[in-house]
Amino acid sequence: MTLLDLLILLLVAGVCGALGQAISGFSRGGCLVSIALGFIGAILGMWLARQLGLPEILMLPVGGRSFPVVWSIIGSALFVAVISLLTRGRRG
């Protein structure tokens, strides 16, 4: 994997993480948080897809490896939703 491949992978993960935050409606942090959420979302989304027997949708080849764009967005949205439920204070 070259430096350009790594930068493209970080860019795609950042966009997927930002979209996951936008879908869930909860945002904390900036660019690095979005990149981390994109990678966590890819792991969580692919695990969930395998457990449910769902196909791989929109796999983006980067540096000889495939990055699951759709499952990354779905996984990051689910992860951010759980985080937001755990970190929001009680109102009352």
- The pLDDT tens digits of the residues spanning 34-68 come to 889 889 988 998 899 999 999 988 888 888 888 88
Q: What percent of the chain has pLDDT over 90?
A: 17
Q: What is the pLDDT of residue 9?
A: 87
Q: Label residue 90 by pLDDT band (50, 70, 90).
A: low
Tokens 């491949």 locate to: 5
Residue 91 has a pLDDT of 57
CA angle, 28 as apex, 27 and 30 as ends, to 5°? 100
Say what the pTM is: 0.83
Distance CA 5, CA 35 (A): 15
